[in-house]
């Protein structure tokens, strides 16, 4: 029986949960099947995705960013597929680095497949509670063309928003209209999203206040999606005629998700900032034979 042990932690951001695998020197071969085993909620640890923590200089996809960001977030969806970005994941990644003594309060650049994302870890609260993490998520891209989202017999027009990863944002009358979201909603035309997409269903709660449900590409419905909340904020602001580039000042929306609340702001230069909690809940070790699929 294998005695090799691999360290892991479990964390979440507004209940979007992750297995964190520290691998600073990039020595661990983490296959898609191994990721799926880790994320299995019955036979594994259970998570919406895996955050592998690697020094940028040790990862071929991040070496060019090593001079600006020491750490690379190698993010995988729960089915093992590789993703460009994960907003809640960046906050949890930053919290792990802080807890591990690899980063302190203040500004922290993090390399991702969507480029460098700059996090800011707020000061610890008076009761010792960890401060929120703010992440500069980059600028939204708004591809042209009409998009339609379909669940069962119902369809809605949607806004195509790219936050480093793709989103289809549909405003609906009731969040229950999205159904169970066990399967990915239909999105057309398929050419708008050649690699698939995340889909957000959104309702209004008040001025500058929306709520959503999300089906994440490669993971299914999740309790939260940081890039999705950013995409929803941008889509809502454009719908409401609140373009910060035109207004000349930041625009902020409160975004409620099943797992909690995020505050999203878009700056006049187009930069989107996301603020919310990040929590490490457990740590331990797992036998290497489990990742290899040879455990019995």
- Does 266 belong to an annotated binding site? no
Question: Phi and psi of 85, rounded to 5°?
Answer: -155, 160
- Tell me if 160 is assigned to a ligand binding site: no
pLDDT tens readout for residues 152-202 = 999 999 999 999 899 999 999 999 999 888 889 999 999 999 999 999 999
The per-residue pLDDT for range 91-128, each reduced to its tens digit, is 999 999 999 999 999 999 999 999 999 999 999 877 88
Q: Is 162 annotated as a binding residue?
A: no
Mean pLDDT of the chain: 95
Round to the nearest angstrom and report the end-to-end CA distance of the chain. Answer: 9
Domains in the chain, please, with CATH? Answer: 5-132+278-292 (3.10.310.10), 147-275 (3.10.310.10)
What pLDDT sits at residue 2? 46
Q: What is the DSSP string of 110-158?
A: EEETTEEEEEEEPPPPTTSPPPPEEEEEEE-B---S-EEEEETTEEEEE
Nearest to 262 by CA among 228, 215, 288, 218: 228
pLDDT at 1 over 50: no
pTM of the model: 0.92
* Residue 226 known to bind ligand: yes
Asked if 92 contacts 71 with a C-beta cutoff of 8 angstroms, the reply is no
Q: Determine if residue 198 is labeled as part of a ligand binding site.
A: yes
Active-site pick, 214, 225, 255, 280: 225
Q: How far apart, in whole angstroms, are the C-alpha atoms of residue 109 and residue 119? A: 6
Q: Is 86 a catalytic residue?
A: yes
230 has catalytic annotation: no
Q: How far apart are CA 14 and CA 259, in angstroms?
A: 5
Choose, from 86, 92, 232, 237, the residue flagged as catalytic.
Answer: 86
């Amino acid at each position: 029986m294998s005695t090799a042990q691999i360290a892991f932690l479990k964390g979440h951001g507004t209940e979007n949960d992750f297995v964190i695998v520290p691998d600073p020197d990039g020595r661990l071969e983490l296959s898609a099947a191994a990721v799926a085993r880790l994320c299995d909620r019955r036979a594994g640890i259970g998570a919406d995705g895996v955050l592998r923590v690697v020094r940028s200089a040790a990862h071929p996809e991040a070496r060019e960013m090593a001079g600006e960001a020491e750490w690379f977030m190698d993010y995988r969806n729960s089915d093992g597929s590789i993703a460009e970005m994960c907003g809640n994941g960046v906050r949890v990644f930053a919290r792990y680095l802080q807890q591990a003594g690899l980063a302190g309060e203040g500004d922290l650049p993090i390399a991702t497949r969507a480029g460098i994302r700059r996090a800011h870890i707020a000061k610890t609260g008076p009761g010792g509670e960890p401060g929120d993490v703010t992440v500069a998520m980059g600028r939204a891209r708004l591809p042209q063309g009409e998009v339609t989202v379909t669940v069962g017999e119902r369809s809605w027009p949607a806004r195509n928003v790219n936050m480093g990863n793709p989103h289809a944002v549909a405003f609906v009358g009731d969040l229950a209209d999205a159904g169970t979201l066990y399967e990915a909603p239909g999105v057309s035309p398929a050419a708008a999203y050649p690699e698939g997409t995340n889909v957000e269903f959104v309702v209004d709660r008040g001025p500058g206040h929306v709520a959503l449900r999300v089906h994440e590409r490669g993971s299914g419905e999740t309790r939260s999606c940081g890039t999705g909340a950013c995409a929803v904020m941008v889509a809502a602001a454009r719908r409401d005629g609140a373009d910060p580039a035109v207004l000349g000042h930041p625009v902020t929306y409160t975004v409620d998700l099943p797992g909690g609340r995020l505050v999203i702001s878009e700056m006049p230069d187009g930069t989107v900032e996301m603020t919310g909690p990040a929590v490490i809940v457990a740590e331990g070790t797992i036998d290497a034979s489990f990742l290899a699929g040879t455990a019995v």
